[in-house]
Amino acid sequence: MKVDFNNDFRLFVISFLQDEGCMVDIDSDLRKLAYQLCTYLEHKIRPTPRSIFVSNVFNPPSETEHLQGLKNLETDLGMGNDITKYLHKPLLKTNEKDGLLNHWGIHHFHLGHCPDEKDPRFVKRTGPLLLARVTEDSAYFIGVYSHNELSERCWAISELIEILHRNWPESISNYKMKGNVSGDRLPDDKLAAIWKNRGNVIWKTEDGTAYGMLGGVLTVLAVQRRPCAMQTE
């Protein structure tokens, strides 16, 4: 009997991604499918109860509907419900890249409180977005930013790391660089230019603490080099 483990795994990945609602090219080779799988798993947040922490500069959204969406998200996080519906739609394309997540490990969440008309699997898309770092047991709410502001600044906003560092340094301590790190702090426009050219940055906070890539290291092909894992029932 001939066993083809590569093809068996390839078919398993295709089936898994399709079951998750992802767009999959069934003619793709195993290497591309494995990349798509890791990209999806990196973006998706595993349903499990999480404690919520709010930064000392957090300002909730002003409009009632967005505030309700934030409360719904808080409830789902605390109860361990699936929160995929709050994430961005390109998640299901599996080959889309999220610079903020890839570089700094920060997710952005839409704050709609009703289903999106074009795709009811997601909540309604909103201008205000919650930026948060999510770990296996916690969610750290950094702040609410407008989509337009984030786009204008190419999503490269250094204050996000400053907020994480000032509020929860222990949550990112694994990424702290040891020893003396030379060099000046980069302005946001220079940071955005480096991101655009697929570069990696060691970031220094105002007090001189240096951090590596909180979201993993990117290669020149913009491939995220970070371990991924999946669970099956």
**pLDDT score of 44 more than 90:** no
Once rounded to an integer, what is the mean pLDDT over residues 204-218? Answer: 78
Looking at 6-15, 38-47, 91-100, which range is the least confident one? 91-100
| Mean pLDDT for all residues in the chain | 84
Domain assignments of the chain as residue spans, ordered by start = 5-225
| pTM listed for this prediction | 0.82
The phi-psi region of residue 155 (left if phi > 0; otherwise alpha if psi is between -120 and 50; otherwise beta) is left
- Could you read off the pLDDT of 121-167 as tens digits, one per residue? 999 999 999 999 999 999 999 999 998 887 776 666 788 999 999 99
**pLDDT score of 101 more than 90:** no
Helix (H) or strand (E) holding 140: strand 138-146
